[in-house]
Copies of this chain bind each other. A is one copy, B any other.
Amino acid sequence: MSSIEEKCKNKGVRLTDQRKVIAKIMSESKDHPDVDELHKRVSYVDKKISIATVYRTVKLFEEAGILEKHDFKGGKARYEQSPDEHHDHLIDINSGEIIEFVDKDIEKLQNEVAKKLGYKLVDHKLELYGSKIKK
């Protein structure tokens, strides 16, 4: 059973065949596919799964905290399995490759900034866009 399928069980999310396939694919994905790409991968297992179902499932999983949605540049939402510990992203503007990173110092400063402005930090989005340094 995939790790996402497991999470569904724990959270009482009803499991259909389609959802199991989507759960499995997303559990195995190490990148950040958009819905089209995900549908393509899912279709390889069961070509009768419609893209509407993929959209609905991905939203369902997101609301259950199982998937994380990202709106990087490009106009299409991209998904990844919710990580155990939060990370941010650096996007290679040339290749589109996405690198994950963690920086506790930045996190801390973000909290301080919010606090200073009289706010409790609820969420944040940090995306770095860069080009590879050639050596």
Contacts from A to B (Cβ < 8 Å): 71, 73, 90, 92-93, 99, 101, 103, 105-106, 109-110, 113-115, 117-133
Report whether over half of chain A's contact residues are helix, strand or loop; otherwise say mixed: strand
The CA-CA distance from A120 to B120 in the complex, in Å, is: 32
8 interchain pairs, CB-CB under 8 A:
A90-B114, A93-B123, A103-B109, A113-B128, A119-B128, A119-B131, A122-B130, A123-B129
Counting from the closest, the 5 A-B pairs by CB-CB distance are A119-B130, A123-B129, A125-B127, A114-B130, A124-B128
A125: which B residues are within 8 A, CB to CB? 125-127, 129
The CA-CA distance from A34 to B71 in the complex, in Å, is: 17
Q: Given A93-B122, A109-B109 in contact, is the A117-B101 Cβ separation under 8 Å?
A: yes
Tell me the smallest distance from the CB of A42 to a CB of chain B, in Å. Answer: 25
Most chain B CB neighbours (cut-off 10 Å) among A93, A105, A119, A131: A119
Contact A127 B124 (CB under 8 A): yes
Tell me the smallest distance from the CB of A54 to a CB of chain B, in Å. Answer: 19
The CA-CA distance from A119 to B129 in the complex, in Å, is: 9
